[in-house]
Chains A and B, each alone.
Chain A
Amino acid sequence: MRYLRAPAAFALALGLIASACGGGPGTTPTSPGATGAAVSSEPFVMLSTQLNTVTESEALRTQILSGFTAAKVEFRGETAGPFADRIVAESKTKGTVGVIGGLHGDFGALDLNLFEDLTPLATKLKDRGFPAEFMELGKLGTTRQIYIPWMQATYILGVNKQALQYLPSGVSVDNITYQQLTQWCKNISDQTGRKRCGLPAGPMSLLHRLIQGYMYPAYTGGLVTTYKSAEAATLWQDLKNLWQYTNPQSLQIDFMQESMLSGEVWVGFDHVARLVKAFEGKPNDFVAAPAPKGPKGLYYMSVLAGLGIPKSTPNKSGAEAFIDYMTTPAVQSKTLTTVAFFPVIGQTLPADLPAHLKIEADGVAKQAKHPDAKVALLPIGLGAKGGEFNKVQLDTFQRIVIKNEDIQKVLNEQAAILQTVMNDTKAPCWKPDPPSTGPCQVK
Chain B
Amino acid sequence: MAVRAGRALPFPARIARSEAALPLGLLAPTIIFLTLLILIPVAQAILLSFQMVPGTLGLEAYRRMIADVAFVDSLKNTLLLLVLVVPVQLVLALAMALLIHSRFPGHGAFLYIFALPLAISDLAAGIVWLSIFADTGYLNSALNGLGLTTDPINFLSYENLHLVLGTVIVAESWRATAIVLVILLAGLQLIPREYFEAADLFGASRVKRTLLIVLPMLRPSLQSALIIRTIFAFQTFAVVLALAGRQLPVLSYEAYDWYYNNRNEFIAAAFAALILLMTMTVVFFYLRVLRVKDAEIQR
Contact = CB atoms under 8 A, between A and B. Distances in A.
Contacts of B261: 80-81, 387, 390-391
B136 A263 contact: yes
A372 interface: no
A440 B70 CA distance: 27
B114 to A, nearest CB: 29
Given A81-B260, A387-B262, A391-B262, A399 B69 contact: yes
Contact of B245 (A79, A251, A264, A388): A251
A194 interface: yes
B246 A251 contact: yes
Given A249-B156, A263-B136, A264-B135, A82 B260 contact: yes
A353 interface: no
Contacts of B242: 252
Interface string A190-206: 00011000000111000
B135 A249 contact: yes
B159 interface: yes
A194 B153 CA distance: 11
A395 interface: yes
Contacts of B165: none
Interface string B59-97: 000000000011000000000000000000000000000
A204 B159 CA distance: 21
B286 interface: no
> Interface of chain B, helix or strand or loop or mixed?
helix
A402 interface: yes
Contacts of B257: 203
B259 interface: yes
A84 B136 contact: no
A251 B158 contact: yes
B157 A81 contact: no
A248 interface: yes
Contacts of A395: 69
A81 B245 contact: no
B107 interface: no
B154 interface: yes
Contacts of B247: 251, 402
B158 to A, nearest CB: 5
A64 B70 CA distance: 42
Interface string A102-117: 0000000100000000
Interface string A378-392: 000000111110110
A248 B151 contact: no
Nearest to B134: A249
Nearest to B159: A248
A109 B264 CA distance: 12
Given A84-B263, A388-B263, A252 B245 contact: yes
Given A201-B246, A203-B245, A203-B246, A248 B263 contact: no
Given A388-B264, A395-B69, A249 B246 contact: no
Nearest to A109: B263
A386 B243 CA distance: 27
Contacts of B272: none
A398 interface: yes
Interface string B230-271: 000000000001111111000001000101111110000000
Contacts of A390: 261-262
A225 to B, nearest CB: 23
A262 interface: yes
A264 B140 CA distance: 13
6 contacts: A203-B253, A249-B154, A252-B245, A387-B262, A394-B246, A402-B158
Interface of A: 79-82, 84, 109, 193-194, 201-203, 247-249, 251-252, 262-264, 384-388, 390-391, 394-395, 398-399, 402
Closest 9 CB pairs of A and B: A81-B260, A248-B157, A387-B262, A252-B245, A387-B263, A395-B69, A202-B245, A251-B245, A251-B247
Interface of B: 69-70, 130, 134-136, 151, 154, 156-159, 241-247, 253, 257, 259-264
